[in-house]
Amino acid sequence: MSLEVNAGTFSYDKDHPVLMDITFSAQPGEVVAILGPNGAGKTTLLKCILGFLPWESGYTSLEGKKIREWKRTDLWKYISYVPQAREPAFSYRTEDMILLGRSPYLGNFSVPGKKDMEIVEQVMETAGISHLAGKNCSEISGGELQLVLIARALAAQPKLMILDEPESGLDFRNQLVVLELLKKLSHDDGLSIIINTHYPDHALRIADHSLLLYKNSIHLFGRTEHILTPEHMKAAFHVDIAVYHEVIEGREYPTVIPLRLSESSRQDAK
């Protein structure tokens, strides 16, 4: 399912726009990564895309139809949102948490049926968390909870998933688990996936396209390898950066190394 943001502009203070004329798209079967320094508007962008915050100008469209023209009950059958993992306010079993993803298909007083429970089991297997069945979400690790939230999103059987820093705060293993799952869902299963990330090497590893946000409302969008260059990242993060590509067992692994604060960054700090 294709999503497009066309000339989207948003500000909390009209004299200081956070996002200006943002234009990019996500196509079926590809991952789009959103990167940028703190304060560049990454999470705000996700909220605008989903309609949680209204664009001041511009629009988001899904399959060529503006988001605001979709019925919300229909929209959430096609789009799933995965927030950053936090311990839930209420105590849920993992299955019950994942079952919440079936909400777009259930009425206010409907009881989940056999099909809903089968989908829960299926997405737990897809996410590799079948062993967490019966456990309380407050008793599992942060990495496990992140996978439960991804499984909850998959329970809606969406065509597009939007994730806010899905690998942040996780150890190496769970970061890899999340990245490999997202890559499989997009490249093998045909989902469109948009992720916010603080890790350029993660974007280089799995993202087909990347959107790089600068604090001055400038942005760049294109093939990941063309956008996440040392020059572009230095301009965005004010850090001198080197990018290396290691080939191990015939597979290339990109590594982004921050070398030092750039001269402009040191001058700004004075």
What confidence tens digit (pLDDT) does each residue in 193-210 have? 999 999 999 999 999 999
What confidence tens digit (pLDDT) does each residue in 214-249 have? 988 899 999 999 999 999 999 999 999 999 999 999
Pairing between β-strand 209-213 and β-strand 219-223 as defined by DSSP bridges: antiparallel
Please give the pLDDT value at position 92: 87
Question: How far apart are alpha carbons 158 and 163 in whole angstroms?
Answer: 13
Given pLDDT bands bounded at 50, 70 and 90, which one contains residue 16?
Answer: confident
Identify any residues that bridge with 258 across adjacent strands, giving them in sequence order.
Answer: 241
29 φ, ψ to 5°? 80, 15
Please give the pLDDT value at position 89: 53
Q: What average pLDDT does the segment 129-154 reach?
A: 91
Is 166 in contact with 150 (CB distance < 8 Å)? Answer: yes
Please give the pLDDT value at position 110: 72
pLDDT exceeds 60 at position 103: yes
**What pTM does this model have?**
0.91
Please give the pLDDT value at position 116: 93
pLDDT exceeds 80 at position 267: no
Please give the pLDDT value at position 232: 96
Please give the pLDDT value at position 142: 83
Share the mean pLDDT of the chain: 91
Could you give all domains of the chain from N- to C-terminal order, each with its CATH number? 3-223 (3.40.50.300)
CA 30 to chain centre: 12
Q: What is the percent of the chain where pLDDT is above 70?
A: 94
Is 50 in contact with 62 (CB distance < 8 Å)? Answer: no
Please give the pLDDT value at position 73: 84
Tally Cβ neighbours within 10 Å of residue 259.
11
What confidence tens digit (pLDDT) does each residue in 169-183 have? 788 888 998 999 999
CA distances from 9 to 25, 38, 133, 214 (A): 15, 18, 43, 14
Given pLDDT bands bounded at 50, 70 and 90, which one contains residue 168?
Answer: confident
**Which one, of 63, 69, 38, 39, lies nearest residue 51 by Cα?**
69
SS3 category, 101: helix
Q: What average pLDDT does the segment 29-34 reach?
A: 97
**Most confidently predicted of 30-34, 92-96, 127-131:** 30-34
Please give the pLDDT value at position 174: 86
Is 178 in contact with 167 (CB distance < 8 Å)? Answer: yes
Given pLDDT bands bounded at 50, 70 and 90, which one contains residue 163?
Answer: very high
What confidence tens digit (pLDDT) does each residue in 43-70 have? 999 999 999 999 999 999 999 999 989 9
Please give the pLDDT value at position 88: 64
Pairing between β-strand 239-248 and β-strand 251-261 as defined by DSSP bridges: antiparallel
Q: What average pLDDT does the segment 147-167 reach?
A: 94
